Amino acid sequence: MDTLTDDLCYQALKTRDPRFDGRFYTAVLTTGIFCRPICPAVTPKRDNVRFYPSAETAMANGFRPCLRCRPEAAPGSPAAAGVHTTLARAVRLVEEGALDTGTVSDLAERLGITDRYLRQLYKRHTGVNPQQHAQARRLLRARQLLVDSNLSMTEIADIAGFGSLRRFNHTLKETYGDAPTAYRRGLKPIANDAPHTPDAPFLPARDDLVLFLQARSPFDGDQLLTYFRARAIPGLEAVGKQYYARSVSVRGQPGLVICRPQTTPQGVQVILRGPARQAILEVSAQVRRLFDLDADLPGITDHLSQDPLLQPLVAQHPGLRVPGCWDRFEFALRAVLGQQISIAAARTLAGRLVASQGTPLPDELTAGTGITHRFPQPEAIADQPPINIGLPRNRADTLAQVAARFAEPGFAELDGNTLLEQLATLRGIGPWTLNYLALRGLGDPDAFPASDLGILKASAHLGGPTNAKALTHYAERWRPWRAYAAQYLWTSLATHPAREETMS
């Protein structure tokens, strides 16, 4: 734990401070159980506890997850926070199942390093090796699926990566002390199709897979839906008062994912429909990034509220998140389409692109939703003549160049800095596009498009700098959370007419 001492952890444990939920785990020597800092159990004596940065590390050291506070449901993965970018990517790939079907050597090759160096990075920063992390994740996600989903035991064993129901039952009983059925709570099975209401296509129906994802508190789901609603691409996305829905393609299989933010408990109900339902763990990881569920908001807001310019905005929007993206390539094209035009115009162009180059979906999958296509693959655009969707010739050329780069094997998986450096060499990709892509597309918490007209207008309205150079200098005080500062500034424009996130 780079920024937490054992004494600080114990103080947080005694007060059950929710700001530390997911940042560390407490293992109790006398019981062999580890907990989240918000666990309602009686606080153990100081000499009887050990602190670990991740649930995987605690499990690798022989401790069992608590049945009351459920460490597998804690928001975030601190193992990936604040460490080498290569390790952060490795942790993400392992959590998405890279070692369920491949080896550590395969993973290292994807990262462009040796397997020995990968093991060293893992051990140094997480306390466990990649295989231990993968096994712990299987156990943790299996238990999460047992409690928070409507899947059958056989489906959970398969999706969690155990290979067989027998191995699943044996491993969970050996680890937790009871058979999986002892922990089966789950969501109630969907017995009938949803009632005939306007929202019916976006409610759980027969054969849908349903999973709940917990968010760090506080969480403002309405703000995120407002953001997504203004930018929803026709034919690809649909956003209502209580849901965000879109088509997806996972492992070549089509699907419809519906996200319904909730306040009690805080988080997002994920509904996955269609053949892609077997990839629920990959989809849930993408939903977490899309809704920024793992942001340590108390720490971020404590820092940003020290600045008098942002303090009123932080107080006004306590659960504000930075919306992410579903796919890097998709967002790169959205950023290019949004250059120098309004949000509404960019949305229209993106809709034309999806309709002309996207893959149609089967009607039975998306009936009544208005969603008709999957987003185009890079190859579909890179191999075509200039696309006629109403773009200037230069921007159409930029779109094709970006698609050609993403069509190259491994390009989409490059670390963020390298990907941005390579895109910067393309004609038509300037600082605004790169910063916007870093902020939304790559999830960089410190990205800051200072030249954005909306940000400059918000800053001027609040009495701050009025030009990009001065704002860049002023924003140094917001590091390392400038992306959140940008989101507060954009959100402040909601009551003022503005061409948000555009270039002049």
Residues designated as active site: 35, 452
- For residues 499 and 342, the answer to whether their CB atoms sit within 8 Å is yes
Return the structure tokens found at 30: 């006398």
Using DSSP, state whether 217 is helix, strand or coil. coil
Distance CA 29, CA 54 (A): 17
Place of tokens 């917001």: 478
Which class for 449: exposed (0-12), middle (13-18), buried (19 or more C-beta within 10 A)? buried
Element (H, E) at 35: strand 33-35
Distance CA 471, CA 485 (A): 12
DSSP assignment of 310-321 = THHHHHH-TT--
**Would you mind telling me the total number of residues written for the chain in this entry?**
504
Round the CA-based radius of gyration of the chain to a whole number and report it. 23
Distance CA 107, CA 408 (A): 19
Torsion angles phi and psi, residue 184, rounded to 5: -70, 110
Closest by CA position to 325, among listed 333, 317, 315: 333
Return the structure tokens found at 249: 């393609």
DSSP label of 355: H
Q: Report CA torsion sign: 8, 13, 14, 18.
A: positive
- For residues 228 and 239, the answer to whether their CB atoms sit within 8 Å is yes
Q: Report CA torsion sign: 444, 448, 451, 454.
A: positive
Return the structure tokens found at 500: 């948000």
Across 318-439, where does the E strand assignment appear? Answer: 359-360, 373-374
Q: Are strands 33-35 and 64-65 parallel, antiparallel or unpaired?
A: parallel
- For residues 251 and 234, the answer to whether their CB atoms sit within 8 Å is no
Q: Each residue of 36-69: b (16+ CB within 10 Å) or e?
A: bbbbeeeebeeeebebbbbbbbbbbeebbbbbeb
Element (H, E) at 466: none
DSSP label of 216: P
Across 220-361, where does the E strand assignment appear? Answer: 237-239, 244-250, 253-263, 266-273, 359-360
